[in-house]
Amino acid sequence: MRTRYSEDQQAVAEAFGDLFAREATPEAVRAAEAGCGFDRGLWSKLAAAGAPGMAVPVEHGGGGASLVDLAVVAFEWGRRIAPVPLVEHAVTARLLASLAESGAVDTALAGAVAGGEPIATLTLRPAGPDGAAPLVPAGAVADVVAGLRGDALVVGRDEPSGVARPNTAGLPLADRDLSDAGILATGEVARGAFDDALTEWKALMAVAYAGLTREVLAMGVAYVKQRHQFGVPVGSFQAVQHGLADAATRAEGARLLAFRAACAVDAVTDGAARLASMALLFGAESARFAADRVLQYHGGYGYSAEYDVQLYYRRAAAWLLQLGEPAAEIARLAEADLGPKRPKAA
Amino acid sequence: MDFRLPAKAEAFRAEVQEFLAEHLTAEMIAATRDGTIHSPELHRAIADRGWLSGAVPAELGGGGMDPVELCVLLEELQLHQAPADALGVAVVTVSMILEHGNDFLRSETVPRLLSGEALGCFGYSEPESGSDVAAARTRAVRDGGGWIINGSKMWTTLAHVADYVLLLTRTDPDVPKHRGLTFFVVPLDTPGIEIRPVSTMGTERSNATFYDDVRLGDEWRLGEVNGGWNVMKTALKYERGIAGGQFPSPPVIEAAIDWGRTARRADGTRPIDDDAVRHQLVQAMIDVEVCRSFAYHTAALASEGEMFGVEGSMTKLFASESYKKHCAWFLDMMGADGLLTHDDPGAHMDGRIEEHFRHAPVTAIYGGTSEINRNLVAEGWLGLPRSR
Ligand SMILES: Cc1cc2nc3c(=O)[nH]c(=O)nc-3n(C[C@H](O)[C@H](O)[C@H](O)COP(=O)(O)OP(=O)(O)OC[C@H]3O[C@@H](n4cnc5c(N)ncnc54)[C@H](O)[C@@H]3O)c2cc1C
């Protein structure tokens, strides 16, 4: 049992932490927002560093790292709210590699995706029976889109539009058409493979949320130490301190739960999907709480476009909503833990 | 990184569960309604198993139980609602005496405390000082080779069943407050001590204790004269290891689920089929998993020999504040039926939720209030300037 990074993980965190700090600056995030929410230069550098396929088995062209190692990178990605679809791509790459294992996917495609080109993504919500998949994350930039169509797991390959639907966080969301996408599996096999990929997405996004929260809190702490009112730093006011302390407490709880979930998913432990879902919900909630406190304690500047906290505030809400309503996720957890709802007697 | 408990700890969990199946009875849990969250039989059984001495750090000569296993023990005790408050008190008392005590104190008190035959209790808080514990005024004055103690303590929980009180006294009123404190181990049958019950909104009984010309030999002094703050700091350190308190909510959630399944609303529906209820149950279960993550993390740090600090404050803050919230939610869920206490034969599960609702507030007060813990997080974790 070890709840801290190993030395290797520490090294990975530092290497990618440096890369994201250098390349995914707030200016780069703003520039991406002005376009379709994607920074191709950054993506190439990540691909060169082996990030997109790092947790894909070596025999399928990946780096053979564990899901937890990938989570270490996702944390750094989240800290910088980097405008590249790292998590969607990475879980789709793992899905394709596992399907290549059974021959359902061309190994050349799986290998190419593991290398970072073409860009791949996952529809988080099943497409309609007609193949319409609305608001697909990274849908504006991904060539390869995997998802459920009815009870079939399908993969489509299409030139992306490069245009995102305008949205609150400048994310590369776009509608995709999976009507022509090839069927890889059907029935329970399809559902199981898709659910596994989705669980991985939840665990990794939970960790990414912990990264976002870490950074927005650091921003808040730096600001309240330096901003003076009434002749003293605003960070010496207890009301401000206690709001930040509550946020930091939830943030630490969320970080621990997220990594615990990632470890459980990695080890295929019973209850891993439940933990991943809980970690995502709690991660999103604590990110929103922290971003809200930090924006508040910036006063008017927090609301200005010039300061960075607003970039985090909007993403704190947006990342989870790509999956759908939080209430629906909670309802799924309730179904699993409390049993199905009984219909009201007529 | 690997958050899974080692197989040895899971095997130990099974052992604890077996132990509780054998030794913990419904009567023991019900008996705590007289206000004393302590069962002498259970306490002795825990001591006989070696878990009390086991929980004392090895460097002090204790069993040095692996912190992860200790965490599992505390988790199971809480999940089963075992009345085991005295376990933590005993471990902290023994640890303090082993660290600071003279030979007399070690041989006189430690074996009795470790066997479960004798109990300790904490005399830190006073009528006029709680959070500002270093402001204690109870006076100890030299009297030849010994001491005379005068003053009063508030919230001396378990004093009415305990044998010793760890007493924080003022020995020098003329120096800054932290520098004029001295600790004593005071046998509670010493003449001049009076113990009066203090009843609470929850089930606990606590005590006010009064010290009127209590004469004590110097051999009962714990640590240096005017070195009491050092002793206090180690008390807080040992408390972190054995604090528990991370799992107050599961018994309430269990009762809420039972109510949700068995009760019927006026329209014939079950509360558990209501989305609002399901939402709160899931939120509460998520909070429990957050608490569990904190508990396993601090245990893992401790077992690596890493002394954690602020993480303990965060755990307590989160666990107690979320527990209060859960109790309020599930009391509301029951409507008028939620009001019935265990004295009413129709109270659901012996009025468990109602009882927890009355108990919950104290968890955000004793052992360091939520505000004090937020201060500690702000200063110790975020590095913010001292508050004003
Ligand atoms: C049931 C029960 C059992 C207990 N058992 C024991 C025991 O066995 N032994 C023992 O010694 N003590 C015991 N205590 C005492 C307990 O530790 C104190 O109640 C606690 O430390 C708070 O002190 P206080 O009650 O004097 O409140 P105060 O310190 O007077 O606090 C009042 C309010 O002011 C806030 N406040 C105080 N200082 C600050 C600050 N710096 N910043 C912001 N807010 C602040 C507090 O958070 C609180 O909300 C027990 C208490 C209870 C209720």
Clarify whether residues B91 and B64 are in a common domain.
Answer: yes
Please answer yes or no on whether B301 and A2 come within 8 Å at the CB atom: no
Contact call for residues A160 and A141 (beta carbons, < 8 A): yes
Taking CA atoms, A219 is separated from A129, A215, A223, B385, in Å, by 45, 6, 6, 16
The yes-or-no verdict on residue B15 having pLDDT over 70 is yes
Per residue in B135-187, pLDDT (tens digit) is: 999 999 999 999 999 999 999 999 999 999 999 999 999 999 999 999 999 99
Can you read off the two tokens belonging to residue B75? 């988790």
- Within 10 angstroms of residue B248's Cβ, the number of other Cβ atoms is 23
Give the containing element (helix H, strand E) for A182: strand A182-186
Average pLDDT, chain A: 97
Distance between A345 CA and the closest CA of chain B, angstroms: 8
Rounded to an integer, the average pLDDT of B21-43 is 93
Can you read off the two tokens belonging to residue B24? 């913990």
Per residue in A161-173, pLDDT (tens digit) is: 999 999 999 999 9
Rounded to an integer, the average pLDDT of B41-50 is 96
The CATH number covering residue A319 comes to 1.20.140.10
Distance between A210 CA and the closest CA of chain B, angstroms: 13
Q: Is residue A225 part of a domain?
A: yes
Question: What is the DSSP annotation of A2-63?
Answer: B-S--HHHHHHHHHHHHHHHHHS-HHHHHHHHHTTS--HHHHHHHHHTT-TTTTS-GGGTS-
Mutate which of B4, B72, B293 to test chain A, going by most A C-beta atoms within 10 A? B293
Q: Note the pLDDT of residue B261.
A: 97
Domain boundary pick from B59, B92, B119: B119
Q: List all residues of chain A from 119 to 148 with a beta carbon under 8 Å from chain B.
A: none
Question: What is the DSSP annotation of A256-313?
Answer: HHHHHHHHHHHTT-TTHHHHHHHHHHHHHHHHHHHHHHHHHHTTHHHHSTTSSHHHHH
Atom of ligand 1 nearest to the CA of B362: 53
Clarify whether residues B265 and B376 are in a common domain.
Answer: yes
B371 lines ligand 1 (CB under 6 A): yes
Clarify whether residues B74 and B137 are in a common domain.
Answer: no
Clarify whether residues B52 and B127 are in a common domain.
Answer: no
Distance between A326 CA and the closest CA of chain B, angstroms: 10
Clarify whether residues B140 and B264 are in a common domain.
Answer: no
Give the containing element (helix H, strand E) for B22: helix B7-23
Name which of A68, A221, A337 is nearest B1 (Cβ-Cβ): A68
The yes-or-no verdict on residue A346 having pLDDT over 60 is no
Name which of A242, A260, A282 is nearest B374 (Cβ-Cβ): A242
**Cα A72 from Cα A10, distance rounded (Å):** 8
Clarify whether residues B255 and B376 are in a common domain.
Answer: yes
Please answer yes or no on whether A342 and B273 come within 8 Å at the CB atom: yes
Q: Is residue A318 part of a domain?
A: yes
Q: Note the pLDDT of residue A345.
A: 67
The CATH number covering residue B144 comes to 2.40.110.10
The yes-or-no verdict on residue B352 having pLDDT over 60 is yes
Clarify whether residues B162 and B278 are in a common domain.
Answer: no
Per residue in A254-271, pLDDT (tens digit) is: 999 999 999 999 999 999
Clarify whether residues B127 and B227 are in a common domain.
Answer: yes
Rounded to an integer, the average pLDDT of A21-45 is 98
> Which residue in B291, B293, B294 sits closest to B311, CA to CA?
B294
3-state secondary structure of B108: helix
Beta carbons within 8 Å of A186's beta carbon, 6+ residues apart: A151, A152, A153
B157 lines ligand 1 (CB under 6 A): yes
Looking at chain A, the whole-number percentage of residues with pLDDT higher than 90 is 97
| Domain of A306, in residue numbers | 195-338
Search chain B and give the residue with CA nearest A4: B1
Per residue in A271-313, pLDDT (tens digit) is: 999 999 999 999 999 999 999 999 999 999 999 999 999 999 9
B117 lines ligand 1 (CB under 6 A): no
Looking at chain B, the whole-number percentage of residues with pLDDT higher than 70 is 100
Distance B212 CA to ligand 1 centre (A): 24
Q: Is the model more confident about A342 or about A234?
A: A234
Chain A residues with beta carbon closer than 8 angstroms to that of B1: 2-6, 9, 68, 259, 262-263
Name which of A224, A249, A339 is nearest B318 (Cβ-Cβ): A249
Distance A215 CA to ligand 1 centre (A): 34
3-state secondary structure of B129: strand
Clarify whether residues B140 and B111 are in a common domain.
Answer: no
Distance A110 CA to ligand 1 centre (A): 61
Q: Note the pLDDT of residue A343.
A: 82
Q: Is residue A46 part of a domain?
A: no
Clarify whether residues B94 and B184 are in a common domain.
Answer: no
- For ligand 1, atom 44: residue with the closest CA: B371
Q: Is residue A132 part of a domain?
A: no
**Cα B242 from Cα B234, distance rounded (Å):** 13
| Domain of B49, in residue numbers | 7-119
The yes-or-no verdict on residue A17 having pLDDT over 80 is yes
Q: Note the pLDDT of residue B388.
A: 61
> Which residue in B207, B107, B104, B98 sits closest to B152, CA to CA?
B207
Could you tell me the pLDDT band of residue B245, with boundaries at 50, 70 and 90? confident
Chain B residues with beta carbon closer than 8 angstroms to that of A2: 1-2, 300, 304
Q: Note the pLDDT of residue A278.
A: 98
Please answer yes or no on whether B296 and A68 come within 8 Å at the CB atom: no
Per residue in B200-244, pLDDT (tens digit) is: 999 889 999 999 999 999 999 999 999 999 999 999 888 877 877
Q: Does A265 touch chain B (CB under 8 A)?
A: no
**Cα A42 from Cα A24, distance rounded (Å):** 7
Work out how many domains chain B is built from and give that number: 3
Per residue in A43-59, pLDDT (tens digit) is: 999 999 999 999 999 99
Q: Which residues of B123-152 are buried (b: 16+ CB within 10 A; e: fewer)?
A: bbbbeebbeebbebebebeeeeeebbbbbb
3-state secondary structure of B21: helix
Q: Note the pLDDT of residue B29.
A: 92
Contact call for residues A148 and A173 (beta carbons, < 8 A): no
Q: Is residue A224 part of a domain?
A: yes
Give the containing element (helix H, strand E) for A174: strand A174-177
Q: Note the pLDDT of residue A64.
A: 97
Could you tell me the pLDDT band of residue B305, with boundaries at 50, 70 and 90? confident
Q: Is the ipTM of this complex over 0.90?
A: yes
Q: Note the pLDDT of residue A319.
A: 98
Sign of CA dihedral A112, A118, A124, A126: negative
B131 lines ligand 1 (CB under 6 A): yes
Per DSSP (E only), the strands in chain B are 120-123, 139-143, 146-154, 164-170, 181-187, 193-199, 205-216, 221-222
Average pLDDT, chain B: 95
Please answer yes or no on whether B279 and A330 come within 8 Å at the CB atom: yes
Clarify whether residues B57 and B164 are in a common domain.
Answer: no
> Which residue in B134, B341, B274, B204 sits closest to A344, CA to CA?
B274
Search chain A and give the residue with CA nearest B261: A338
